[in-house]
């Protein structure tokens, strides 16, 4: 079993839709959590950190459930430019980061 | 403010050869991590350097080694290349190494092809 698991998708949604991605992790020592987006053949870019109280950045909302070792990302009012692969990342305080294999999103007109 | 830079962008090597990849971190960052990303997978953690020492290491063989210089730049060396080493190699830098939450900023990567 992988340390960080994501539904690979692909998720194909129309513009304006709301879509949610889930991620589970197995290392209970994980302390920091992030979502990155990666466009085809490009480097990952930080989308947002995930805090225990949940956090929102515009159309994006991230949630963390430490008891269930579960992280989510909600995208509202999807845009064509949101099409990408979304990577869930967990990190220990020692500095080791583990990435999921990503969930692919395609937003269609 | 320069971001993370990596060189070269592309590289083709023959099985059994050795390769060195280079990375310069974002200004103000002192911690550098290296990742290997195969097609269709997420980045796999190779190791992390802080204060010129390897602080953490992933499940990679000793053929993978690295170095960090006093100016925080870093090198990744891979010896005895195998076909399976073909991948995108990503360097990421992060804020002062003693402070979580370790938000990382990635360079554009080096695409290594082993033939």
Per-residue pLDDT reduced to its tens digit, A48-83: 999 888 899 999 999 999 999 999 999 999 999 999
Please give the backbone phi and psi of residue B68, each rounded to the nearest 5 degrees, phi first: -125, 135
Residues 6+ apart with CB under 8 A from B59: none
The pLDDT, as a whole number, for residue B107 is 97
Helix (H, G, I), strand (E, B) or coil at B95: coil
Spatial separation of the C-alpha atoms in residues B112 and B106, rounded to whole Å: 17
Q: How far is A93 from chain B (nearest CA, A)?
A: 6
Grade residue B59 by pLDDT with cuts at 50, 70 and 90: very high
| pLDDT over 80 at B1, yes or no | no
Mean pLDDT value across chain B? 93
Q: Among partner residues B43, B100, B109, which is closest to A31 by beta-carbon distance?
A: B100
Q: Greater confidence, B21 or B55?
A: B21
Q: Chain B interface residues facing chain A, Cβ-Cβ under 8 Å? A: 31, 33, 35, 40-45, 48, 50, 55-56, 58, 90, 97, 100-109
Q: What percent of chain A has pLDDT over 90?
A: 78
Grade residue B103 by pLDDT with cuts at 50, 70 and 90: confident
The pLDDT, as a whole number, for residue B98 is 52
The pLDDT, as a whole number, for residue A95 is 76
Asked if B60 and B71 count as a contact pair (C-beta separation under 8 A), the reply is: no
Tokens 């070269």 correspond to: B8
A31 touching B (Cβ < 8 Å)? yes
């Amino acid at each position: 079993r992988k340390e960080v698991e994501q539904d690979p998708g692909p998720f194909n949604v129309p513009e304006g839709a709301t879509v949610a991605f889930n991620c589970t992790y197995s290392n209970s020592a994980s302390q920091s959590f992030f979502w990155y987006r990666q466009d085809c053949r490009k480097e990952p870019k930080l989308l947002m950190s995930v805090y225990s109280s949940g956090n929102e950045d515009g159309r994006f909302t991230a949630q963390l459930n430490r008891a269930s070792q579960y992280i989510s990302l909600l995208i509202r009012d999807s845009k064509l430019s949101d099409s990408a692969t979304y990577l869930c990342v967990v990190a220990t305080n020692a500095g080791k980061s583990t990435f999921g294999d990503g969930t692919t999103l395609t937003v269609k007109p | 403010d320069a971001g993370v830079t990596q060189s070269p962008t592309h590289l083709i090597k023959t099985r059994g050869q050795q390769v060195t990849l280079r990375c310069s971190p974002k200004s103000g960052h002192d911690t550098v991590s290296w990742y290997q990303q195969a097609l269709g997978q997420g980045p796999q953690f190779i190791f992390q350097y802080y204060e010129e020492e390897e602080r953490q290491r992933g499940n990679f063989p000793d053929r993978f080694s690295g170095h960090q210089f006093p100016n925080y730049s870093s090198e990744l060396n891979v010896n005895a290349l195998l076909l399976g080493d073909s991948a995108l190699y990503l360097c990421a830098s992060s804020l002062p190494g003693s402070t979580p939450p370790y938000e990382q900023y990635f360079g554009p990567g080096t695409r290594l092809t082993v033939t």
